[in-house]
Homo-oligomer: A and B are copies of this chain.
Amino acid sequence: MDSNRITIEEVAIKAGTSKSTVSRVLNGSAGVREDLAISVKKAVEELGYRPNQVARSLSTRVTFTIGLMINDIFNPFYSAVAKGVEDYAFSKGYSVVLFNTDENEDRELVALKTILDKAVDGIIVAPTGANKAAFHKLLLAGVEIIQVDRRLPNLDASAILIENEAGTLEATKHLIGLGHQNIAFITFDLALPTLLEREQGYCKAMAAANLEIKNHIFKIPFNIVAKQLDTSLKIAHLLNNANPPTGLVTVNNRIGLAVLRAIRDLGLKMPDDVSVVVFDDLEFFPLHTPSISAIAQPAYTMGRKAAELLITQLTKGKTEPNQTIMYRPHLLVRQSSGPPRSR
């Protein structure tokens, strides 16, 4: 980096004072004579001085940087969260450093260590569920944590969540209300709370209507995704069996996309052959033919709120106890869900 950058010392000399006074003026500390403050500001201006944040951080142990650890920035849900985080953080003078975990525990652990080494002030994280010890260590080291989308049990940190169960419950009830009886839930074989809660919502709705759950929950191996294999093949298989479901609820937009692909490949018609409701709303769902019913999450808002919570905590100190902020998902009934073909 820069070797001939202006330092605080040069400013002090030019202003005819000492480093401490310059520092005081810069940080707005009280007790500096008016005229001295003015000449310091003048020197700063004229020299184009900007404090070296690394040096400042070493001294203050504050970096004005927050970490954002998510599964996959390419997933529109997370990129909306990221945008919300970045917008708010930027408005408050914080930078955000991005880590994709790819739902991989090892990768998450490495990211966690990096965060510890780089002395980030706080993080916003959608935890994979592992590395509990590392998260605790972070907390011990004074790094504030806000969880988003998911929560690690027993972690002493606030969380911005969505009522997952309510979302799938409503979606499944919606399908049941339309007359569906053979309804499948398609999810990943991961033990993420988010996924499990959504599964629960589905189960509760099914149970309440006395409908068959057994053999109606399909868990796609997540490593298929990791290996970039086509998830839709698995789903096509399911839709192609002897007694295929007439209604489908998908756990998230990734599976939703795979379902849409499979349905297209099989030449099935929505909603006549099969009704579909996807958790997460995507920009193109209203454009699809038929338009896709979805359970919408306020992803941008959740990211923004997480950043707000974190930065407030960082600024004011953690005055309040942990919060759990719950957002409600919003069922958008579109054309992909309708009554089953009568037979």
Closest B residue to A93 by beta carbon equals B114
Does the CB pair B73–A76 fall under 8 Å?
Answer: no
Nearest-neighbour CB distance to chain B for A42, whole angstroms, equals 20
A223 at the interface (CB under 8 A from B): no
Closest B residue to A290 by beta carbon equals B289
Among A17-25, A55-63, A156-164, A201-209, the stretch that binds chain B is A55-63
The B-contacting residues of A in range 1-27, CB under 8 angstroms, are: 1-3, 5
A282 at the interface (CB under 8 A from B): yes
Number of copies: 2
Does the CB pair B95–A52 fall under 8 Å?
Answer: no
Among A79-87, A124-132, A173-181, A214-222, the stretch that binds chain B is A79-87
Nearest-neighbour CB distance to chain B for A148, whole angstroms, equals 15
Does the CB pair B98–A143 fall under 8 Å?
Answer: no
Interface string of A90-129 (1 = CB under 8 A from B): 1001011111100000010011011011110100000000
A54-B72 Cα distance, complex, nearest whole Å: 27
A65 at the interface (CB under 8 A from B): yes
Note all chain B residues with C-beta closer than 8 A to A83: 72-74, 100
Among A33-41, A257-265, A315-323, the stretch that binds chain B is A257-265
Does the CB pair B79–A90 fall under 8 Å?
Answer: no
Does the CB pair B97–A96 fall under 8 Å?
Answer: yes
A312 at the interface (CB under 8 A from B): no
A240 at the interface (CB under 8 A from B): no
Interface string of A275-293 (1 = CB under 8 A from B): 0000000111011110000
Closest B residue to A50 by beta carbon equals B117
Known pairs A55-B58, A73-B79; list 12 more (Cβ under 8 Å). Answer: A2-B119, A50-B113, A51-B117, A52-B117, A54-B58, A73-B86, A74-B80, A74-B83, A87-B100, A90-B110, A257-B284, A284-B287
